Amino acid sequence: MQTDTLIALSPLDLGLAASLVLALAALSWQLRLGIGRRMLVAALRSTLQLLLLGLVLKGLFNSASPWLVAALATVMLGVAGYEVMARQRYRLRGAWGYGAGTLSMFLSSFSITLLALLTVLQPVPWYAPQYAIPLLGMLLGNTMNGIAVALDSLTRQTLEKRHQIEARLALGYTATEAIEHIRRDALRAGLIPIVNSMTTAGIVSLPGMMTGQILAGSPPMEAAKYQLLILFLIAAGTGLGSVAAVMIASQRLFDVRSRLRRERLSPHLHAPGHG
């Protein structure tokens, strides 16, 4: 029997789910994996962030102020830009270390969100927070991952293959030609996650948005159509954002005389996944 009633979760229900994370952290400690503390911090951080976001969105939905929507979108973009910077082992020095990823996400995620709101969903008003904020959040989150991977691949390979790049420059190649193969590899790396997500959606995995809509009582076919819309928008946002980020960063690696400037990269030793 199908029901459209949303099953409310109690603090006890969430506590039972959280106990599984605690058990996993304990297992990590027992096996000396060195990730238990990070897992607990991440769980606590996500709990605080999501509960705070729930309170903020509750007030935002009630007011439906375009200025509050814009303010929250700006905060989301700023945090996403910092995360992109923090996930790179080597990043551009100065403001461009933060600006390359942030500007790329602004150009891609915001433009695609506006396109979807104005031409596809068409809510009234067009900035309705019920649609604008979740859509932008999903786009920023996935675009952030793609851009972070692409930029990390670009800067890491540039340092590893710097002698090859300099040899190409000495042979008369332009800066674009000398780094072209590295840019292609970086873009490919940034796009692989979303390509894999689209490939396995509906067969290996049931995507998060579709799952949430079904649990909330939406018809499965309607949930599937929304999930398709989101997947296509995320793919476009990730692709455009990765291209923009790689183009911006690769240009910053050379000076006006097309000389490779390795000193423009600084190591970030605490980037996740880089010991």
Residue 208 structure tokens = 């998060």
Residue 162 structure tokens = 């710097």
Task: Tell me the angle at which helices 220-252 and 175-200 cross, rounded to the nearest 10 degrees.
Answer: 170
CA 149, 155, 159: angle at the middle one, nearest 5? 140
Which CA distances in Å does 226 have to 78, 111, 142, 168? Answer: 27, 19, 16, 48
Residue 74 structure tokens = 């700006």
CB 172 within 8 A of CB 105: no
Terminal CA-to-CA distance of the chain, rounded, Å?
51
Q: What pLDDT score does 94 carry?
A: 76
- Write b or e for each residue in 133-149: b if 16 or more Cβ atoms lie within 10 A of its Cβ, otherwise e: bebbbbbbebbbbbbbb
Q: What pLDDT score does 204 carry?
A: 67
Residue 33 structure tokens = 């994996």
φ/ψ of 35, rounded to 5, equals: -125, 0
Q: What pLDDT score does 272 carry?
A: 47
How many Cα atoms sit within 13 Å of 209 on the Cβ side?
A: 20
CA distance 209 to 21: 22
CB 35 within 8 A of CB 53: no
pLDDT along the chain (275 residues), means of 10: 63 87 89 85 89 84 84 89 83 80 89 90 86 88 89 86 81 80 89 82 70 74 83 88 88 75 61 44
Q: Is 205 left (phi over 0), alpha (psi -120 to 50) or beta?
A: beta
Q: What pLDDT score does 206 carry?
A: 67
Q: What pLDDT score does 273 carry?
A: 44
Residue with tokens 């995620």: 109
Q: Is 34 left (phi over 0), alpha (psi -120 to 50) or beta?
A: left
Q: What pLDDT score does 72 carry?
A: 87
CB 168 within 8 A of CB 177: yes
CB 244 within 8 A of CB 154: no
Q: Is 99 exposed, middle or buried (0-12, 13-18, 19+ CB in 10 A)?
A: middle
How many Cα atoms sit within 13 Å of 43 on the Cβ side?
A: 17
Q: What is the dihedral of CA 99, 102, 103, 106, to 10 degrees?
A: -160
